[in-house]
Structure 1
Amino acid sequence: MIALLVALAGGLGAVARFEVDTLVARHNRWTMPAGTLVINVTSCVLLGMVTGWVAGHPGLGDLKDVLGVGFLGGYSTFSTASVEGARLLRAGRVRAAVLHAGGMLVASVAAAWLGVAITS
């Protein structure tokens, strides 16, 4: 039953990712893809919150799996970030590629830390 819930949550996470990316793209004025940055940073803060919450409440492993592995696994998008970085490099935009990848890394780690801190 948990596997089914994780799969359904993953599908919902993917739909949420599509909707957020579409909304951000509609309002993005940058020359770099901002949707993936927003999605990955928000997924990191949310996963940090789930991790911090579950750490303080033993026995919630199934909920952690549904929210963390399922929903947030479907919502976050490392593969898209990698493709966007590669596209920026292929277009000769080395500085933008480094800024995109490095900025996402730093922001995502900080967001995960914030998420854990919020629930601790």
Structure 2
Amino acid sequence: MTQPDEFRVDPDVDLHVPADRGELAAHPAAVLGAIAAGGVLGALARAGAQAAFPHPPTGFPWATFGINVSGCLLIGALMAVLTARPAGPLVRPFLGVGVLGGYTTFSTYVVEAHRAVLAGAPGTALAYLAATVLGALLAVWTGDAVAGRLLARAGGGEAR
């Protein structure tokens, strides 16, 4: 049995936004291609950063922490920009879902915390878990707030 559209959940596309629903239905290969292309770029950037800044199993994973926090900052800014100035139908899937979704890595975050516990550093794991969640939430809020203010200033409107 299928559910009505209002009950289906797709984390990559907001079916309540007519542009998302229409583009995905009209050109599913283009949307998926944009996500895949962006994902490759984001994952390569993440892999490069993690290779440049390795850490021991008991050490704080600064590379992944920086990746997740900076990615969340950019996601907040991107959503503010796209809310204020809608772009083409493939911009959000490419940049938001693809590039930034491939760049951020909360699965690695969990694996690294688990490895720290297994290596005998539960304090590091707990600090990493808490700092990442707090840092990511603050980064999304900051990216949205700063971008919203800059856009309002540039457009002569009010800050969000």
Same fold (TM over 0.5): yes
What is aligned with 2:48? 19
Q: CA RMSD in A?
A: 1.9
Higher relative contact order (CA 8 A, sep 6+): 1
Q: Does 1:50 align with 2:78?
A: yes
- The separation in 1 between residues aligned to 2:136 and 2:96, in whole angstroms, is 15
Q: Percent of counterpart pairs with the same letter?
A: 32
57-66 or 104-113, which moves further after superposition?
57-66
More helix by share: 1
Query: Which secondary structure state, in structure 1, belongs to the residue aligned with residue 47 of structure 2?
Result: helix
- The separation in 2 between residues aligned to 1:94 and 1:19, in whole angstroms, is 27
- The separation in 1 between residues aligned to 2:78 and 2:62, in whole angstroms, is 24
What is aligned with 1:7? 36
1:39–1:76 contact (8 Å) kept in structure 2: yes
Deviations 1:25-49 (A, max 9, x none): 38x9x92211110110110001011
The runs of 4+ residues in structure 1 deviating greater than 3 Å are 58-61
What is aligned with 2:119? 91
- The separation in 2 between residues aligned to 1:31 and 1:5, in whole angstroms, is 36
- Which structure 2 segments of 5+ residues have no match? 1-29, 149-160
Higher Cα radius of gyration: 2
TM-score (norm 1): 0.89
Residue type of the partner of 2:67? I
TM-score (norm 2): 0.68
Aligned residues: 118
What is aligned with 2:14? none
2:34–2:90 contact (8 Å) kept in structure 1: no
